[in-house]
């Protein structure tokens, strides 16, 4: 362990990881879930590193294979996601008798999404599809704080925290899995500003009552070189300046040449 200090980054920070599975939230009602989440926030020690939101929809027509087919045709796209990948064993007719999963985005990114048929995973007959977002890193911390801000606000207004949590979950999915209908451009190249023109498919938009959240844009990640430069600048700038002045004075005393001492001192400091 490198015993990374609070609010700093490290390769092997000495921390405890607490993971609360979805099964707990499925069994808890909205108020109980809100109590638990607010207790975690009030405790203050924990930092959210990943948060998953999901919604499960009863449907017979719009199961995961339907969505895969639409994405393969080019009739649907997700804003901000260049990559999507269907997984599952296809039969001779092109179906997925054992179930399929449609992934959106890179597994290593902070914002990742998936769609799959929950009834096949659970092994029952009530057909339903699950849409799920997986948020990590700074995006997870921003979403966590935004969720608690809304919970506190609803307390002031005397509103139901359970309803607020449910609404926040659906609004987050709508914002972070922005599916758009691109069927009007089938067989053509998408225009540059297609995301501003394309609308949500009706069978997706009707799943939501509230508007999508205003999500904070992802910040550009710093390279290791830039991090190292900033660290050196903030920690070693004064010693380097002092060494430059010392070399300048030392050479000036030896040669009496001010111009040569200046260039010599800078070269030796570097």
Query: What's the pLDDT tens digit per position in 13-28?
Result: 556 677 888 888 889 9
pLDDT in tens, 219-241: 444 445 445 655 665 666 666 66
Gap between the Cα atoms of 86 and 69, Å rounded? 10
Lowest mean pLDDT among 39-43, 99-103, 115-119, 262-266: 262-266
The label of the residue with tokens 């009030």 reads 42
Query: For residue 224, what pLDDT is reported?
Result: 54
pLDDT at site 67: 96
pLDDT of residue 204: 96
Residue 198 has pLDDT above 70, yes or no: yes
Segment 147-192, tens digit of pLDDT: 999 999 998 898 999 999 999 999 999 999 999 999 999 999 999 9
Give the pTM: 0.71
Please check the confidence at residue 270 and state whether its pLDDT lies above 50.
Answer: no
Task: State mean pLDDT over 200-229.
Answer: 67
């Amino acid at each position: 362990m490198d015993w990374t200090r609070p609010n700093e980054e490290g390769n092997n920070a000495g921390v405890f990881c607490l993971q609360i599975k979805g099964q707990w939230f499925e069994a808890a009602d909205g108020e109980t879930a809100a109590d638990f989440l607010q207790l975690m926030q009030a405790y203050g020690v924990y930092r959210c590193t990943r948060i998953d939101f999901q919604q499960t929809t009863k449907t017979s027509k719009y199961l995961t294979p339907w969505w895969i087919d639409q994405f393969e045709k080019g009739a649907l796209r997700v804003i901000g996601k260049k990559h999507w990948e269907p997984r599952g064993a296809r039969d001779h007719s092109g179906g997925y008798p054992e179930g399929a999963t449609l992934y959106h985005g890179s597994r290593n990114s902070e914002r990742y999404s998936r769609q799959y048929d929950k009834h096949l995973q659970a092994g029952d007959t009530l057909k339903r599809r699950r849409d799920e977002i997986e948020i990590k890193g700074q995006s997870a911390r921003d979403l966590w704080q935004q969720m608690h801000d809304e919970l506190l606000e609803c307390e002031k207004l005397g509103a139901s925290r359970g309803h607020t949590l449910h609404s926040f979950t659906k609004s987050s999915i709508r914002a972070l899995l922005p599916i758009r209908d691109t069927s009007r451009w089938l067989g053509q190249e998408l225009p540059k500003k297609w995301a501003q023109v394309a609308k949500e498919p009706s069978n997706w938009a009707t799943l939501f009552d509230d508007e999508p959240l205003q999500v904070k844009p992802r910040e550009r990640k710093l390279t290791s070189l830039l991090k190292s430069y900033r660290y050196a600048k903030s920690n070693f700038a004064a010693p380097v300046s002092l060494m430059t002045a010392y070399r300048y004075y030392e050479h000036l005393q030896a040669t009496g040449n001010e111009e040569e001492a200046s260039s010599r001192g800078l070269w030796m400091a570097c």
